[in-house]
Amino acid sequence: MDVIKQVRTRYAPSPTGFMHVGNLRTALYEYLIAKSQGGAFVLRIEDTDRERYVEGAVDVIYDTLKLAGISHDEGPDVGGDFGPYVQSERKDMYLPYAEQLIKEGKAYRCFCTKERLEELAQTSEFGGYDRHCRDLSEEEIAQKLKDGEPYVIRQKMPLEGKTTFTDAVFGEITVDNSELQDQILIKTDGYPTYNFANVIDDHTMGITHVVRGSEYLSSTPKYNLLYDAFGWEIPTYVHLPLIMGKNEDGSVSKLSKRHGSTGFEDLIKDGYLPEAIINYIALLGWCPKDNKEIFTMKELEESFFIEGISKSPAVFDYDKLLWMNAEYIKAMSDEEFTERATPYYREALGDLEIDYSKLTAILKQRTEKFTDIPDKIRFFAELPEYDKELFVNKKSKTNLENSPALLQEAYDRLRALDDWSYDSLHDCLINMAVEKELKNGTVLWGVRIAAAGQKVTPGGAFEILELLGREEALKRIEKGLEKLK
């Protein structure tokens, strides 16, 4: 009977200080593949490339995963049975594996100097290492070791035949072995290359599904030859499609800064909600069985399946993300909206006393991003400079001739009110329209312009008057009257 192995996936970021949406999607899909099958999701930090190392970058990874709601079952901070989970702490475990391959004739020491390799790179027709050291005699090797000559360890690739593997997304892939270079496994300093370390790590951590960007597809045959050399089971490969951006001329090219923000943190700064970003990214290359679009993380965990991943490039559509963001905002309770909008309310209004829940009432259905809020409500704190032409509106039948009298009458009626509540303001101005046989808009247009000093406002005249409060509202209408004189 086959023992069904627990699914184990890993996210293996290099700490570069930046979480590209492509990396985030990889993390998310690894997480979802594990969770949808009751498996474990592992975080491994690949920090061996010291030149790329950025201070504080590991924290960026933790913070991003946390904010995104992607929680790892094992990792440097939470531990687990397969540690250490930071590659630099594993550095001593790779050399013995490479030495084992040397013993078995599947790898060899290469003593070629940097100068020779550089020259080779200029002249070689083979387009890479010419396997100069592949067949050194035992004596030659012994002598060079005795002389302390530095060396790397290279994998001995088969010179003929083909290597085939099946990717869960891209299907069957075959390469001629003659195209494969004798790649370096261990560098002169004794440390592994990424190409070697990822195989050793994935195997020793019991990883069953390797999920990564499709740029790794062409290296996979080399990895598989290593698995074969050790007699290890090859994991299931899930290569993810490219992420493209839409160009102005309608064409697409690899997603980059000129298309918009490409980092998770930057998207957050742009005002997208983490849960909307995650939801959007889940669909960037994966298609659910029904046409459902809005998913909570829990729902994603339940419905994700590998066969739904597409190999055709996914196009990052900022308009779609914005739509999704607005859907998330509309679905919030008023309390949650107020809580999350409060920093933006404060930004625009300072310590102005205003009922935030009433602001929420006029903003929630109209807000696509929280970052849009300050500009929309700044007029509550300060009446903008505006032109009296704003009183002219064809649809409401207002012009510079009728506006002064209309606004004066509205002002007189409002001033006489004891009760400055929404209902009272409403009845007051609607009664005026009824009594004077005018369209509501004819009365309300000028009042709203005077109160807000701008044409487009969240909420109508009653809401704005109520939020401004009696004193400020009347003062602004007086100003409007002044302007119209």
Task: Give residues in contact with ligand GLU (CB under 6 A).
Answer: 12-14, 46, 198, 212
Are β-strands 252-254 and 243-246 bridged in parallel, bridged antiparallel, or unpaired?
A: antiparallel
How many C-beta neighbours within 10 Å does residue 444 have?
22
Q: How far is the CB of 191 from ligand GLU (least distance, A)?
A: 15
Q: Which amino acid is at 314?
A: A
Q: How far is the CB of 14 from ligand GLU (least distance, A)?
A: 4
Give Cβ neighbours of residue 220 (< 8 Å, ≥ 6 apart): 165, 167, 173, 237, 239
Name the β-bridge partners of 109. Answer: 153
Residue in 20, 17, 44, 16 with CA at minimum distance from that of residue 30: 44
Instruction: State yes or no: is 257 an active-site residue.
Output: yes
Q: From the candidates 66, 162, 254, 257, which is the catalytic residue?
A: 257
Q: How far is the CB of 9 from ligand GLU (least distance, A)?
A: 10
Q: Which is nearer to ligand GLU, 208 or 367 (CB)?
A: 208
Q: How far is the CB of 47 from ligand GLU (least distance, A)?
A: 9
Q: How far is the CB of 46 from ligand GLU (least distance, A)?
A: 4
- Asked if residues 284 and 274 have their Cβ atoms less than 8 Å apart, the reply is no
Q: Which amino acid is at 478?
A: E
Q: How far is the CB of 44 from ligand GLU (least distance, A)?
A: 8
Q: Which amino acid is at 365?
A: Q
The separation between CA 204 and the C-alpha centre of its own chain, rounded to angstroms, equals: 30
Positive or negative, the CA dihedral 87, 88, 92, 97 is positive
Catalytic residues: 257
